[in-house]
Every structure is written in C-alpha cells, then in structure tokens.
Amino acid sequence: MELIINPADELPIYRQIMRQITEAIAVGRLKSGEKLKSHRDLSEELVIAPLTVKKAYDELEALGFIETQRGRGTFVCTAPPRLDPVEQRDKIQQAARSFLSQAYLAGLRYTEVVKILKDADRELTAGAPSRKEKETA
C-alpha cells in the first residue's frame, strides 16, 4: 500500500491520506481485516508530521473504515460504514456533475467520457478480488 502525498495540493495532507485509503478499500486493494502501517512508520515513510497521519487514522476510525486495537495495531474494518443513503446519493450526483463538467471543458463528448469511465473501472478492479454485487440499500 503505497501512498503519494503532495504538500502543495490544496487538499490537506491528512485528507489526501484518507482519500487514498478509502479508495483502496472501495476497490478491494485493502481487504477487510488487513493491517495498516503504524501512524509513526507511515509518517516517516511520507516525511510528514506523525500527528498528521494520526489525524487521518482518527477520522477514518470515526467514520468506521478502520479500527485500532490497543497494542496490536490498526486494521481495516470488516463491515464497511453506511452513511445516510440520501445524503450519499446527493454527493455522488454532485461528483458526477463536477466530473462531467471537467471533461466537457477539456473538449470531450459524453460517449468519450463513458469510455474513459469504463477504462478506469477496469483499471481499478484489476488485481482486486472480484467484487460481489451489493444491495444498494
């Protein structure tokens, strides 16, 4: 699990960490129960302050993605968190609009966008355990 952080990015560093970990979980690159690096090791590896990594872990734990076991380490939760479905839906729709607009600004047409999305799906799912269909609940 390699992370890439960019100190100049407008997204805070702890958010960059959170995003990459949740994406890895979403896609199956990080599996349920898998152990994460300690926040101290990770901070050394990324050359950032330990508190910054800890903040990311704390927030991820508060959101239900990971859990810490005193003395043993930090692990990916078995049960992925379920947020408010309505709110969730709104955020996804907004993300879709943003993504589309960005693509349109680049001069792409709708069919091309779909193609890119399909490629991204293939790339993300590659190497990951074949996802099981989940209820949209």
Partner DNA sequence: GTGGTCTAGACCACC
Partner DNA sequence: GTGGTCTAGACCACG
What residues make contact with its own copies under the rule CB under 8 A? 7-8, 12, 19, 22-23, 25-27, 59, 62, 67-70, 72, 80, 82-83, 88-89, 91-93, 95-110, 112-114, 116-117, 119-121, 123-124, 131, 133-137
Q: Are 9 and 16 in contact (CB under 8 A)?
A: yes
Distance CA 119, CA 33 (A): 29
Picked from its own copies, DNA, none, the partner binding residue 48 (CB below 5 to 8 A depending on kind) is DNA
Q: What is the DSSP letter of 66?
A: E
Nearest to 105 by CA among 113, 95, 114, 93: 113
Q: How far is the CB of 42 from its own copies (least distance, A)?
A: 18
Picked from DNA, its own copies, none, the partner binding residue 39 (CB below 5 to 8 A depending on kind) is DNA
Which helix H or strand E contains 68, and what residues bound it?
Answer: strand 66-69
Where does this chain bind DNA (CB under 7 A)?
7, 12-15, 36, 38-41, 48-52, 54-55, 58, 68-74
Q: Are 34 and 76 in contact (CB under 8 A)?
A: yes
Picked from DNA, its own copies, none, the partner binding residue 31 (CB below 5 to 8 A depending on kind) is none
Q: Which two tokens stand for residue 13?
A: 């560093």
